[in-house]
Structure 1
């Protein structure tokens, strides 16, 4: 059952507004992928908290004022399904370390330190059972 900010799982009720909104978006995308409620809720809970912990103040502010999640929202499930099998990249761009799934359009998170980006990338890769590919500041692939 898809959710919105008026109708959501009880476990989301004490979340900060932005975390709740993100959890609803993630849970709805997982439902569309074929996950059942019992799987989607804990995954969305964990991922929304991790996202909020790693998001910049600008990302949080932008997301706070973005469109509200709706039960009728559509997610690009084919593109998302393809990305599930892709490795996770850690690279330096625009004076910050970025974490992005290979072939994704945008970075999942940005970090001041490579160690932080690498830790986040390893967490994502472990969830997807894929690998992490790391690059130097100069853009050369590391082993």
Structure 2
């Protein structure tokens, strides 16, 4: 069942308004792509929080004043659904530890320590029911 800002899952009620709006938008898109509600909600919540943490003030302001998600919205079916099931990689590159979903074009986040990167990778993998694959500094799979 799609949601809007007046009718959404209880798990979203304590989120900041912009994060909630983004989570509803993402969850509705996931539902349109065949995901079950029980899987779409936590994925959307995590992605919305991550978006808010990484978005510029202008992006957040722009999204805040954009049209609210509607239950009847149509979503782009060209999303790469396969990435949601792919494993999460932790590797060392350019003097930092990176976390990236396998086959994604860019990393999710970067860290100074491998432990921090692995912690973040586990959060992402747990949310997607996938695995974490770690590499040593010299690129060997562990």
2: CA distance, partners of 1:7 / 1:92 = 44
Partner of 2:56: 61
2: CA distance, partners of 1:118 / 1:66 = 33
Q: Residue 86 of structure 1 contacts residue 130 of structure 1 at CA under 8 Å; is this kept in 2?
A: yes
2: CA distance, partners of 1:110 / 1:78 = 24
SS across alignment from 1:51? helix
Structure 2's unaligned 5+ residue stretches are none
Deviation of the 1:31 alpha carbon: 0.9
Structure 1's unaligned 5+ residue stretches are none
How many residue pairs were aligned?
A: 135
Q: Residue 133 of structure 1 contacts residue 142 of structure 1 at CA under 8 Å; is this kept in 2?
A: yes
2: CA distance, partners of 1:19 / 1:10 = 14
Larger Rg: 2
1: CA distance, partners of 2:95 / 2:77 = 30
TM-score, length-normalised on structure 2?
Answer: 0.67
Pick closer, same or farther for the CA change 1:42–1:8 going to 2, 3 Å: farther
- Alpha-carbon RMSD across the aligned residues, in angstroms, is 3.3
User: Is the aligned partner of 1:107 residue 2:98?
Assistant: no
Deviation of the 1:84 alpha carbon: 3.1
TM-score, length-normalised on structure 1?
Answer: 0.66
SS across alignment from 1:84? helix
